[in-house]
């Protein structure tokens, strides 16, 4: 397995270097072929490893790469850890990334800078692979920062577009806030355990339960402080409430980037880290309570915003934020396997929804406002059925007693059931917030489908579409569509949609027994609470059917509001304008942060610039010295008479002064 792992991890890096350094000299076709081929190879090698752990034929292994750091008591190597948890992430990352690479052949076909784009995609994948194969916290931090860098490059790929540059900077800065907490958590962990080795830390963690440490002048529980700091890092990467503001703006990047960030890389890093360190978090009850609260709040908060957005990609982006909240509060109540199961199924249907949205955008000449869609199911039928499968998966269609359902039914329902089964006040609150979020998820998901694929064609009203399309003479007749006809995407975009559709339909059904009920499958790679899983299966039937009930209610509400009586949304907004604005403006988080952080930072920067730099440093530094030299040169010039006897007299006086100084 060692050779396979090395190829899986370093293949994308090699492809990224070749495509990036070769760039236009290499050409579009060669760059795309090399990077896509490397990812298809990595994905092909990842599945046998995962299936080996599933069947019990593989065991955990550490593959050494090189000696890295030896400094005093600090010593660690660069090694690749492969266990069940890693195998799951290898399948998710490489499968989705390979499909995104293939999809980008069609989506980015007209872009003049394709080698750079594909190089960035492969670099992003490599950084995430480094994160999930990390055997120590420093190596994990290397991958952690690597995905941050790659996300910055990909979100701002169209760097001539001001909004893309601003979104990239915002993602980078907000993540630096979370990364500060992550760094402090790593420093504190090394201080306490005197090692960065993850297995050694997890083995020693139970012995630190109940111990205290001085932090910011207070005596606090050691493990709670360490885990809270580490979780702050996860909040940034996984866009949890408070550090979530970068995620919707990341939609400024190309759609394949959105699919990769939201389904397989970056945002799943925080969930993976928490599950990897789950034995450590189990010794920190206060930290787990905070994880549960933040996750449940994010789950509901993001779902409310998704109900009001018009940009098709932003709706799905807030959906990602909400689904990540489910994963975190599942981990917060101690069900790490359930959290990873939802991460696994979510990767398929979220990648499907994003790539499906990209296919719609491609068909609608890059229009992203759903108000200018409508009636597209006949024009782009393959995309329609793919997105329908993704919608049924994310809304969790399934029937418990029949034992059948789409991917989201198996994983999201398990999250709700385990939160209820935990039985604490916090977990019960998380359950009800999760049910409310499921209702809103169904509403905004079907709202997206109805606005996009049903109703009358509204693209005739879009100036963007009509002005950017060169009409042919055949279009000059009585054409109710305004001269533009949506078209299905090329095969390179449809094949990934077809593969992901299979995952959205079957991933939950096939893998639920292993993820939820088999402690042997996990092989000690996470903390597995078998009693909690048994309690999850024993919850009342009304709990098991709660997600299905609210899914049907959300569907009915969206149907009435956008098909049967489409005037209802307008009347609601007119009746409750303050409520609508509050939700539409994303609970005013951006405005709040702008007032608290951005404007004071700019004001402080101006003070340092005007007063500190110009007024003091320049005035008494370069400018002041230049002024003194200038005035001194004028004074020196006045004694330059041009007569030799004058210079001789001055030399004599100087000599006398020097001798007098020496004698005295």
- Among 64-78, 122-136, 168-182, 428-442, the minimum mean pLDDT is found in 64-78
84-123 per-position pLDDT tens digit: 999 999 999 999 999 999 999 988 888 888 999 999 999 9
**What pLDDT is attached to residue 477?**
36
398-399 and 212-215 beta bridge pairing: unpaired
At 274, list the tokens. Answer: 């928490």
Query: Residue ranges of the alpha helices (H) in 108-161?
Result: 114-132, 137-155
- Among 288-292, 332-336, 643-647, the minimum mean pLDDT is found in 643-647
511-553 per-position pLDDT tens digit: 999 999 888 899 889 999 999 999 999 999 999 999 999 999 9
Q: Whose CA is closest to 91, among 147, 130, 47?
A: 47
| Residue 471, pLDDT above cutoff 70 | no
The secondary structure element, H or E, covering residue 652 is helix 644-663
Report the pLDDT averaged over residues 199-208.
92
Report the pLDDT averaged over residues 298-316.
93
Residue whose structure tokens are 């991890």: 9
The secondary structure element, H or E, covering residue 445 is helix 425-453
3-state class of 491 per DSSP? helix
Backbone phi and psi for residue 81, each to the nearest 5 degrees, phi listed first: -90, 130
pTM score:
0.89
For 536: left if phi > 0, alpha if psi spans -120 to 50, otherwise beta; the answer is alpha
Between CA 408 and CA 504 the distance in angstroms is: 8
Between CA 271 and CA 235 the distance in angstroms is: 9
**What pLDDT is attached to residue 308?**
93
At 374, list the tokens. Answer: 């409508």
74-82 and 61-71 beta bridge pairing: antiparallel
263-274 per-position pLDDT tens digit: 878 899 999 999
204-260 per-position pLDDT tens digit: 999 988 888 887 788 888 999 999 999 999 999 998 998 999 988 888 888 899 888
Between CA 433 and CA 128 the distance in angstroms is: 31
**What pLDDT is attached to residue 403?**
86
Residue whose structure tokens are 């993820």: 515
Beta-bridge mates of residue 70: 75
The residue among 298 and 644 whose pLDDT is bigger is: 298
**What pLDDT is attached to residue 469?**
47
Residue whose structure tokens are 């609970």: 587
Neighbour-count burial of 212, counting CB atoms closer than 10 A to its CB (0-12 exposed, 13-18 middle, 19+ buried):
middle
The secondary structure element, H or E, covering residue 170 is helix 162-193
At 252, list the tokens. Answer: 């400024």
At 192, list the tokens. Answer: 């306490």
Q: Is the CB of residue 121 less than 8 Å from the CB of residue 100? A: yes
DSSP state at residue 656: H
At 622, list the tokens. Answer: 């370069």
DSSP state at residue 488: P
pLDDT > 70 in the chain, percent: 96
At 121, list the tokens. Answer: 């995609």
Report the pLDDT averaged over residues 316-333.
94
348-400 per-position pLDDT tens digit: 999 999 999 999 998 888 888 899 898 898 889 999 999 999 999 999 999 88
Between CA 78 and CA 202 the distance in angstroms is: 19
Q: Is the CB of residue 333 less than 8 Å from the CB of residue 292? A: yes
Q: Is the CB of residue 373 less than 8 Å from the CB of residue 458? A: yes
- Among 25-29, 222-226, 293-297, 532-536, the minimum mean pLDDT is found in 25-29
CA 173, chain centre distance (Å): 14
Between CA 560 and CA 568 the distance in angstroms is: 8
pLDDT > 90 in the chain, percent: 67
Between CA 572 and CA 488 the distance in angstroms is: 35
Query: Residue ranges of the alpha helices (H) in 396-424?
Result: 407-422
């Amino acid at each position: 397995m060692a050779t396979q792992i090395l190829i899986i991890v370093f293949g994308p890096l090699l492809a990224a270097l070749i495509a990036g350094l070769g760039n236009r000299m290499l050409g579009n076709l060669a760059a795309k072929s090399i990077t896509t081929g490397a990812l298809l190879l990595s994905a092909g090698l990842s599945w046998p490893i995962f299936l080996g752990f599933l069947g019990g034929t593989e065991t955990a292994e550490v593959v050494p790469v090189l000696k890295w750091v030896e400094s005093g008591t600090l010593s660690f190597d660069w090694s690749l850890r492969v266990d069940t948890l890693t195998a799951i992430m290898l399948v998710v990352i490489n499968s989705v990334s390979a499909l995104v690479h293939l999809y980008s052949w069609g989506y980015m076909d007209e872009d003049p800078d394709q080698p750079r784009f594909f190089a960035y995609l492969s670099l992003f994948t490599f950084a995430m692979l480094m994160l999930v194969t990390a055997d120590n916290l420093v190596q994990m931090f290397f991958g952690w920062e690597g995905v941050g860098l790659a996300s910055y490059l990909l979100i701002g790929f169209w760097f001539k577009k001001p909004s893309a540059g601003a979104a990239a900077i915002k993602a980078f800065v907000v993540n630096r806030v979370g990364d500060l907490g992550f760094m402090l958590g790593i420093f504190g962990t090394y201080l306490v355990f005197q090692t960065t080795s993850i297995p050694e830390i997890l083995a020693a963690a139970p012995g630190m339960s109940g111990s205290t440490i001085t932090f910011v002048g207070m005596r606090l529980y050691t493990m709670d402080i360490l885990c809270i700091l580490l979780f702050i890092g996860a909040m940034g990467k996984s866009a949890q409430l408070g550090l979530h503001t970068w995620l919707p703006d990341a939609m400024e990047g190309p759609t394949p980037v959105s699919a990769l960030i939201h389904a397989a890389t970056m945002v799943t890093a925080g969930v993976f880290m928490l599950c990897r360190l789950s034995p450590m978090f189990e010794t920190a009850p206060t930290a787990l309570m905070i994880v549960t609260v933040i996750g449940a709040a994010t789950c509901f908060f993001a779902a409310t915003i998704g109900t009001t957005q018009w940009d098709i990609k932003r709706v799905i982006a807030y959906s990602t934020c909400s689904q990540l909240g489910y994963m975190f509060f599942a981990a917060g109540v101690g069900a790490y396997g359930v959290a990873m199961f939802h991460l696994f199924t979510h990767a398929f249907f979220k990648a499907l929804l994003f790539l499906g949205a990209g296919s719609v955008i491609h068909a609608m000449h890059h229009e992203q406002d759903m108000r200018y869609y409508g009636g597209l199911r006949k024009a782009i039928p393959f995309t329609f059925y793919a997105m329908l499968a993704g919608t049924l998966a994310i809304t969790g269609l399934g029937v418990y007693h029949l034992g059948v359902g789409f991917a989201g039914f198996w994983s999201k329902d398990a999250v709700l059931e385990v939160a209820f089964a935990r039985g604490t006040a916090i977990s019960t609150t998380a359950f009800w917030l999760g049910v409310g979020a499921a209702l809103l998820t169904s509403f905004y998901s079907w709202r997206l489908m109805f606005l996009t694929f049903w109703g009358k064609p509204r693209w005739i009203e879009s100036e963007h579409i009509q002005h950017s399309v060169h009409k042919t003479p055949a279009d000059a007749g009585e054409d109710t569509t305004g001269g533009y006809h949506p078209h299905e995407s090329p095969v390179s975009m449809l094949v990934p949609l077809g593969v992901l559709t299979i995952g959205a339909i079957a991933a939950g059904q096939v893998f639920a027994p292993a993820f939820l009920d088999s402690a042997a499958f996990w092989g000690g790679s996470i903390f597995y609470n078998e009693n909690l899983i048994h309690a999850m299966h024993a919850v009342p039937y009304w709990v098991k059917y709660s997600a299905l009930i609210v899914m049907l209610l959300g569907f009915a509400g969206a149907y009435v509001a956008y098909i049967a009586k489409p005037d209802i949304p307008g009347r609601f907004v007119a009746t409750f304008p303050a409520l609508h604005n509050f939700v539409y403006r994303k609970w005013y988080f951006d405005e709040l942060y702008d007032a608290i952080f951005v404007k004071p930072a700019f004001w402080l920067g101006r003070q340092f610039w005007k007063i500190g730099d110009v007024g003091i440093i320049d005035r008494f530094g370069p400018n002041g010295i230049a002024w003194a030299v200038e005035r001194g040169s004028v004074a020196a010039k006045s004694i330059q008479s041009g007569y030799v006897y004058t210079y001789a007299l001055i030399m004599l006086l100087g000599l006398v002064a020097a001798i007098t100084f020496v004698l005295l």
